[in-house]
Structures are given as C-alpha cells and as structure tokens.
Amino acid sequence: MAAILEAIGVDLGGTKIEVGRVDATGHVLKRIGFATDTEGGPQQIQNKIIEAIQELQNGSKIPLVGVGIGLAGQIDPLHGIVHFAPNLPDWEDIPLQENMQKILGLPVKVINDVRAIAWGEWLFGAGKSTQDLVCVFVGTGIGGGVVCAGKLLKGHSNTFGEVGHMVVDLDGPSCTCGNRGCWESIAGGWGIAKQAREAVLNDQVAGARLLKLSEQKIENISAKNVGEAYLQNDPLAISLIKKVQKALIAGCINLVNLYNPEFLILGGGLIDGIPEIVAVIEDGVRKKALKAATQGLKIVTARLGKQVGVIGAAAVVFDFLLKESNKKGEWK
Amino acid sequence: MAAILEAIGVDLGGTKIEVGRVDATGHVLKRIGFATDTEGGPQQIQNKIIEAIQELQNGSKIPLVGVGIGLAGQIDPLHGIVHFAPNLPDWEDIPLQENMQKILGLPVKVINDVRAIAWGEWLFGAGKSTQDLVCVFVGTGIGGGVVCAGKLLKGHSNTFGEVGHMVVDLDGPSCTCGNRGCWESIAGGWGIAKQAREAVLNDQVAGARLLKLSEQKIENISAKNVGEAYLQNDPLAISLIKKVQKALIAGCINLVNLYNPEFLILGGGLIDGIPEIVAVIEDGVRKKALKAATQGLKIVTARLGKQVGVIGAAAVVFDFLLKESNKKGEWK
C-alpha cells in the first residue's frame, strides 16, 4: 500500500462523532469532531457526517478511496444496513452504506466500532506483529474484536466477539440484554454507574464524595465520577473499583482461555481513566488463566490513542480496497 | 477423497482407549477397545496402542495413510509431544508422535481430543454443512473445539477453546486449574461429583439415594450416580442437576455470544446420560443470548456416537494428508 492512498474514517458514537482523513500508513491528516445530535434523528446525523467529509475533501488533491464508518450496533456487513444501535435512538434498519454512497459517490463500509478498532490496532498499533489478538474496549459497554490465524473473525451472523455479554457471575446484576451477570453489567461504564448509584442510595454518608462530584444528584453519578473518587482515595469508590477489577480479571481470563491470543489489547474510557488497572489485570490473568494459554501472551494498552476509531474505520476501507483490486467485482 | 483411503484413529482416554480403522467417508471398519492401564506408565500404553494398530492392519490389503491420536492435554502440535495430560499420570513431555512413527513407519498426528471430535463432527457429523461451529463435550471435564470461517482454530499456543475453564461464577467453587467458578467446576463430571459429595456430607438423610447408589461411600459418589438418582426423581439430585443446568445454559450463552456459531454441537457423558438437557439448554440460550447471535443458530447433539473420538482422530489424518499431497514437505 502506497502512502498516497487516503480514506475517510468515521467514529460514530452516541455522544460524539469523529471524522478523519487517514493515509494508508494509519496517520490522521485532518479531522473534524462534533457532538452527536440524536434529537434530529438519523437523517440529521448522516447529513452532518457528509458535510464533514466534504469539508475534509476541500483543498485536497488526493482523491479518497472510500469511507469506513464504525459504530456500536447490529450491522448487516454486506449491505451496510444498521439494524439496531444501542447508543443511537431511532436507528432501525437504516441503509447507511447506500445513503452515503449515493451522495458521496464513494465506496462506503459500515462495521462494528470495536471490530474496526481491533483492525486499526492490528494494522497500525499494538498488535502489528501478530496473527492472534483480542482487542477489548471498556467504555459505556464492553466491546471486543478478535483476530485469529490472521483473520478478523465475524462469525455466522456477524456478532463474533460480543464479549460484553459474557456471563461471569451467574447470579450477578441484570443486564440491558435481558440476561444476568454479563461482564459489562459489572465492569462496563453503565454497570459501574448503576452499582455506584445503588451503593450511594444505601449509604449516603459513605457516598458523600460521589454525591459531591455529581452535584448532589444520585441519578447523575457516572462511572467517571467513580474513577475520580477512586483517585481521591474515597473508600466507597475503592470498594466499587475492587469489584470491577475482580470482574475485569475474570473476563480477561476467559478471553485468554477461550481465544488464546498472543496479544490482549486493552483500551477505552475506564482503562484511560485508571491506567494502573492494566497491571492489576495482568497480574490476575498470569496467576489464574491456564499456563499453556499465557505462554507468550502479551497484555498491552491500545496504542492509537483517541483517534483509534477513525483510524480503524479507515483501515477497514484500505483492506477491502486491497481485496477489491485483487478480485474485481467482489466489493463486500 | 476416495473411500479407498484408510487411517487409524486413536481415542486415548484416562479410563479406556479405542483404536479403529476408519475410511475416508468416516466409517469405522474395525475397532479394538481396552482399559487404560495407567499403572504401567506411558511406555506400556504406547505398546498396547501399537499392538492394536498392528492387529487392525492384519489381513487388510489397503495400506494405512497414517495414525491420528486424540487425547486431553497440552500438546505441541508440530512435533506431537504430550507436555501434560490431566487423565494420564506420568505423561510429561512424551514424544508420542516420534515414538509411534519410529515403530509403525507411518505418519502420526497428535491432537487435543475434543478438537479432533469437532473435526469429525464437522467433516462427517452434525456440522457437515457449516463453516462456523462450536463443539462442546461435557464429560469428566468440559472440552471444546471451534470452527470459524471454515478453519479449526488453534490459537497462539494451541489452546484455543479451553471452554471448561471459562469463569461463569465469580465466587464459585475452586477449580483444578487454581481459579474459581470455572464452567467445569460446576457442570463438568468431576465438579458435579464434588458438589454431590458435599451436599450428602451436609445432609445424609437427603443423600440417602445417592449413598445407596454409591454403596454407602460418600467418596464414591459420581456424576453418573447423580444422573441415575435424577432419573429416579430424587429431590437432592434434582436440585443438583438444576444448578448444573443453570451453569450449562450460562456457559452455552457465552459460547454463542463469543463465537457466534451456526451450529452448537453438544455431546459427552452428561448429554448422553440426560438427553432432555439439550432442550433445556436450547430454551435458555434462545431466551438469554443476544438475538443477533441466535439468528440462524442450530443447537444439536453430536451425531457420530461413541466412535466420535476415533473418527475425529482419523479425520485429522485425512485432512493433513490432503494438505500434504498439495504442498509437498509441509507435513505439520
């Protein structure tokens, strides 16, 4: 791949959207970020993304080879239809790929956001040298992408690696998916916030610092508040984070025993907020995962930083274009 | 593959060994079974397997293309060295492939037993039509084999799919691996037996039937006894099996959410002993796994019966020979 190739990567999140022009070596040349206006509905969001892409094209002499869009949700990979997106209300069966292609006149690929991130980290980041990696992003939920034997795995209906909904605690808290004890119901952002609110409701004295950080509104307590209070040595936050650490260790042990990666790449808001948690996870995994599975295992943090979503989405486009140039007419 | 090809499959278990001559359509033409004599050590076992293979060759005009050996344990896949086998005491770093090749003058492949079973069910059994399957065998432990995108996955250090050591209960019972709450510590044969013994120790009145089935010796109570008592409507056995069912459902949900197979194939002693448990698992998985992951999912029982280990081990040999004939000198 010559560096002369350029693509657009879009990281379409529930609170913000990042759009970037990325070259074939994974560098973001220019980017535009804006808040996700969910009030205006899917059409409004698509329009704003198109405007951003057109602005990024302005003044560039290098033509774009395509657009990659990463978002959390259930996606038809062949036609780029968004069936459902947990963080984007009203997005139901939106033919995102077709809509964007029509207006932009460029090939468009729609992909699960953490799978795009895994691709980016594999091509350009922490997992560059390997054929076997698991990428886990702990944000509001917990998402995963898995590369095995040099292939980003999709599964039978494009849901391979839904790690956030792996049961780690049979009688654990109820989850948004209808099950109990899912990993993200304990260790994901929304799960941490929920547990913190319940703990403060039970004991407002112990919860004084969390209440202060959330302007005295229990319903406003966020995972970020828990992280802040933890760094201020608040006992309640420490006990909450200990529970989270225990679940993070168990979940990572499962990923190591089940997927046997060479690299376990950790990223996302929680990891960025409390970076020392990576050492705690590593210690737990090395002690309790199967020895044969931890031989040669490296546990590392994601390397592409805040632009990983944009870079990953663009990387997907480069990959598909490469295949396209080898096999005409097989754009999938 | 012409049916004229024949290979030997060996199912090397901790209590019994099955050796069979198998044709390239997966049919067992002749077989020999005998008890595993662990007292005599690894050499004795290897000798008995060689004798059985030689006996199976007697009178056959069709030359054998190779020998496949499936066993539970940690195996170097390239050199066929058995580093460790939980059910075979004294098996440590045994160069099984080399030993057997030297005497038999035939190519030998050594593979994890459930991975061989997955291969057999994929080539000849319940998963014939698919490119994405998970095969789970619930016996003394719980083993798994995973095919994704038409590839039997091995992982970075050949331990892909160690499903028995997936944590499903953070504070669950301690496991042989040093961790807590592993799937097989609750739902595997040894875990069921341990829980039953503890329950009977706690309440010998409730445990009367289990004690009767084990000749009044608590330490003799087996998972098989629990299954027998369950079928006789014993309340204690029913409560134990309910716990097992709950864990089986949670573990299968995890496999579906994490591997997104088209076929989930269930087999092994527990499934054979209580076949109606498959419907209970299916009901739980359909209700609680992610909808997108259960679209098109089929949950079925293994189809190759008691000879699945022998057939799977032989199937591995056919597969490698096929590759061998395409790429000379790449016997791996």
Expressed as residue numbers, the domain containing B142 is 129-302
B73 and B16 share a domain?
Answer: yes
Interface of B with A in 259-288 (CB under 8 A): 259-262, 287-288
Q: Which residue of A has its CA nearest to B145?
A: A258
Contact status of A218 with chain B (Cβ, < 8 Å): no
Going along chain A, which residue ranges are E strands? 6-12, 16-23, 28-35, 64-71, 74-76, 81-84, 108-112, 133-138, 142-148, 151-152, 263-267, 298-301
State how far the alpha carbon of B228 is from the alpha carbons of A203, B4, B16, B221, B225, in Å: 49, 43, 22, 11, 5
B189 and B240 share a domain?
Answer: yes
Residue B332: is its pLDDT beyond 60?
no
Task: Report pLDDT for A325.
Answer: 53
A189 and A264 share a domain?
Answer: yes
Hey, what are B150's tokens? 């038409």
Q: Which residues of A touch B259 (CB under 8 A)?
A: 155, 160, 258
User: Cβ distance A13 to A38 under 8 Å?
Assistant: no
A161 and A62 share a domain?
Answer: no
Residue A150, φ and ψ in degrees, nearest 5: 75, 25
Query: What distance in Å separates the CA atoms of residue A35 and residue A19, rounded to the nearest whole number?
Result: 12
Whether ipTM > 0.90 holds is yes
What are the tens digits of pLDDT across the range B222-271? 999 999 999 999 999 999 999 999 999 999 999 999 999 999 999 999 99
Q: What is residue B199's three-state secondary structure?
A: helix
B100 and B142 share a domain?
Answer: no
Is B97 a domain residue? Answer: yes
- Across chain B, what does the average pLDDT equal? 92
What are the tens digits of pLDDT across the range A37-57? 988 899 999 999 999 999 999
A105 and A85 share a domain?
Answer: yes
Report how many Cβ contacts below 8 Å link chain A to chain B.
160
Is A136 a domain residue? Answer: yes
Residue type, B240: L
Is A201 a domain residue? Answer: yes
Residue A328: is its pLDDT beyond 50?
no
Is A192 a domain residue? Answer: yes
> Among B81, B93, B257, which would you mutate to test the A interface (most chain A Cβ atoms within 10 Å of its Cβ)?
B257
Contact status of A243 with chain B (Cβ, < 8 Å): no
Is B331 a domain residue? Answer: no
Q: Which residue has the higher pLDDT, B311 or B325?
A: B311
CATH code where residue A53 lies: 3.30.420.40
Q: Which of A131, A160, A250 sits opposite B167 (nearest CB)?
A: A250
A292 and A239 share a domain?
Answer: yes
> Among B167, B168, B180, B185, which would you mutate to test the A interface (most chain A Cβ atoms within 10 Å of its Cβ)?
B167
B171 and B224 share a domain?
Answer: yes
Contact status of A307 with chain B (Cβ, < 8 Å): no
What are the tens digits of pLDDT across the range B65-86? 999 999 998 898 889 999 988 8
Is A205 a domain residue? Answer: yes
The total number of structural domains in chain B stands at 2
Candidate from A93-97, A258-262, B22-26 with smallest mean pLDDT: B22-26
B298 and B314 share a domain?
Answer: no
A86 and A11 share a domain?
Answer: yes
Statement: the pTM of the whole predicted model exceeds 0.90: yes
Contact status of B74 with chain A (Cβ, < 8 Å): yes
Task: Report pLDDT for A324.
Answer: 57
Is A267 a domain residue? Answer: yes
What are the tens digits of pLDDT across the range A117-146? 999 999 999 999 899 999 999 998 999 999
Q: Which residues of A touch B160 (CB under 8 A)?
A: 148, 258-260
State how far the alpha carbon of A202 is from the alpha carbons of A173, A227, B152, in Å: 16, 20, 50
A168 and A291 share a domain?
Answer: yes
> Among B156, B166, B265, B332, which would you mutate to test the A interface (most chain A Cβ atoms within 10 Å of its Cβ)?
B156
Q: Which residues of B touch A253 (CB under 8 A)?
A: 165, 167, 179
User: Cβ distance B274 to B240 under 8 Å?
Assistant: no
A70 and A158 share a domain?
Answer: no
